[in-house]
Structure 1
């Protein structure tokens, strides 16, 4: 009977475990992620529902990872961008957040010749595959 209960609990525990895809991020230098591709998803990074997941809170590097990501971006012609943090918004559930919750950070991005700033949403609590949002290029 004990073996049956143990087996039943084991099945429940392991069947409920979510399989999280391992995400490896590489650094170009200490202040810049090495990005290798541009997203084909037009909502990636531009919407609150599809933020860029840079992670880092678990290692006390959340804000640094946000800047590392933005430092890897270039404008459509490959020129340097500028950015500033406009604030936090949009609470969401995250096992890495405070009491199971996190907030997105909103950055405003622009470059010489742009008519307006572009809004980028970044999640520093969770890790995901990093790509440049569509409309941007990757810095050399």
Structure 2
């Protein structure tokens, strides 16, 4: 009995990660900031405007655009924003970075690609948590997300 040799073919299938970009101009990529940002102190933004857009910050297609990647202040800007937030019961929030996700196109990223940082927030005294998506590559007008409050300036 003869053995039959069957040649094996290896097929390489390229894998690509899907990048999501918003088609809404207001939520677009790049720098869209129209208002100057003020600080309470070096670690806290002074937020005065609340949005009525329920997706702002809560949806990866509408992240909070703090900017700073180009001058290496991105992580500090993220903390400045988060330090300015209070919970719905007007109590301080604790937060931690839960990781990066959600690749998107931006002229301010490495090879025109950026990643969002996802933060998990909890109001002190509560067990409820929420996720906030922050873009440190692009700048946009900073607003208080729906359901949250901001620290008041002394």
Is 1:133 equivalent to 2:150 in the alignment?
Answer: no
* Structure 2 residue corresponding to 1:109, chosen from 92, 115, 121: 121
Q: Counterpart of 1:96?
A: 108
CA distance in 2, matches of 1:110, 1:135: 13
Query: Quick one: distance in 1 between partners of 2:100 and 2:31?
Result: 29
Q: CA deviation at 1:22?
A: 3.8
What is the match of residue 44 of structure 1?
A: 56
For 2:87 and 2:33, locate their aligned partners in 1 and report how far apart those are by CA, in whole Å: 30
Contact kept, 8 Å, 1:35 with 1:138, in 2: the verdict is yes
Match of 2:99 in 1: 87
Gaps of 5+ in 2: 1-29
What RMSD in Å do the two structures reach over aligned CA positions? 1.7
| Cα deviation code 1:72-94 (max 9, x no counterpart) | 00011221100000000000001
**Equivalent of residue 29 in structure 1, options 2, 23, 41:** 41
Q: Distance in 1 between matches of 2:146 and 2:84?
A: 14
Q: Give the corresponding residue for 2:83.
A: 71
Provide the secondary structure at the position in 1 that maps to 2:82.
Answer: helix
2:68 and 2:137 in contact (8 A); partners too: yes
Conservation of the 8 A alpha-carbon contact between 1:23 and 1:127: no
- TM-score of the two chains, using structure 1 as the length reference: 0.83
1:54 maps to what in 2? 66
User: How many aligned positions are there?
Assistant: 123
Higher helix proportion (structure 1 or 2): 1
Distance 1:21 1:60 in 2: 18
Large movers: runs of 4+ above 6 Å = none
Length-normalised TM-score, structure 2:
0.75
